[in-house]
């Protein structure tokens, strides 16, 4: 990969031999491998049996999970907050696993819409819950740094499954919990 990165440096008018850039190809390679490590992560390995049988049928919500991803159109970062909620049927998942699942799909080349859907669908498959809701609020550097340059534009996407889709009260409870501070 480093040879290609050197080529890109030349193409943009840089000198890959100047001091500040000598190690750049290897740094970029390492950064890209980390930021796309989700391709090598396996959902079942991450969940690793952290599922528990519990009689609980209220909403469980993980709010304000940091997400960092790369837009597949420009390979520039988009980043923001992800909110995940579900109502269990009879299985719950260890709370630390939800941010890990978010990472599996955010550390790839993505569009925000697909990222949102993949997180919701995965939880739906793993937990078979009564419903799942995922909302992502993110800013895209490809919008902020170039093109329209609208600094404060936040893109919001949502994926609602099961009772989050069918039941207006559930949906309203979810939205209120996300909006509430703290």
Catalytic site includes residue 163: no
Residue 21 is a binding residue for Zn ion (CB under 5 A): no
Catalytic site includes residue 72: yes
- Give CA 152 to chain center in angstroms: 20
Cα–Cα distance for residue pair 77/69, rounded to 1 Å: 6
Task: Give 107 or 130: the residue with its C-beta nearer to Zn ion.
Answer: 107
Task: Give 60 or 109: the residue with its C-beta nearer to Zn ion.
Answer: 109
Q: Of 7, 73, 113, 125, which is the active-site residue?
A: 73
Q: Say if residues 178 and 135 touch (Cβ distance below 8 Å).
A: yes
Which H, E and C letters describe 116-178, residue by residue?
Answer: HHHHHHHHHHHHCCCEEEEEEEEEEHHHHCCCCCCCCCCEEEEEEEEHHHHCHHHHHHHHHHH
Task: Give 12 or 148: the residue with its C-beta nearer to Zn ion.
Answer: 148
Q: Of 82, 110, 112, 173, which is the active-site residue?
A: 112
Residue 150 is a binding residue for Zn ion (CB under 5 A): no
Catalytic site includes residue 83: no
Q: Which of residues 101-140 bind Zn ion (CB under 5 A)?
A: none
Cα–Cα distance for residue pair 46/130, rounded to 1 Å: 22
Catalytic site includes residue 112: yes
Nearest approach, Cβ of residue 116 and Zn ion (Å)? 16
Residue of 74, 81, 97, 165 interacting with Zn ion (CB under 5 A): 74
Residue 142 is a binding residue for Zn ion (CB under 5 A): yes
Task: Classify residue 57 by its DSSP letter.
Answer: -
Nearest approach, Cβ of residue 79 and Zn ion (Å)? 12
By DSSP bridging, strand 131-140 and strand 77-87 are antiparallel
Cα–Cα distance for residue pair 95/116, rounded to 1 Å: 18
Contacts with Zn ion, residue ranges (CB under 5 A): 71, 73-74, 142
Just list the catalytic residues: 71-74, 112, 140, 142
């Amino acid at each position: 990969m480093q040879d290609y990165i050197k080529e890109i440096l030349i193409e943009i008018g840089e000198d890959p031999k100047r001091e500040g850039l000598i190690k750049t190809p290897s740094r970029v390679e390492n950064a890209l491998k980390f930021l796309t490590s989700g391709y090598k992560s396996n959902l079942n390995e991450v969940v690793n049996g952290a599922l528990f049988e519990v009689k609980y049928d209220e909403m469980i919500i993980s709010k304000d999970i940091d997400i960092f991803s790369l837009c597949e159109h420009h390979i520039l970062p988009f980043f923001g907050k992800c909110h995940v909620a579900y109502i269990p049927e009879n299985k719950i998942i260890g709370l630390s696993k939800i941010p890990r699942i978010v990472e599996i799909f955010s550390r790839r080349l993505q569009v925000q819409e697909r990222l949102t859907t993949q997180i919701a669908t995965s939880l739906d498959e793993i937990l078979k819950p009564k419903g799942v809701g995922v909302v992502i609020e993110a800013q895209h550097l490809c919008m902020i740094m170039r093109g329209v340059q609208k600094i404060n534009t936040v893109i919001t996407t949502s994926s609602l499954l099961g009772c989050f889709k069918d039941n207006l009260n559930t949906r309203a409870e979810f939205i209120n919990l996300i909006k509430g501070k703290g």
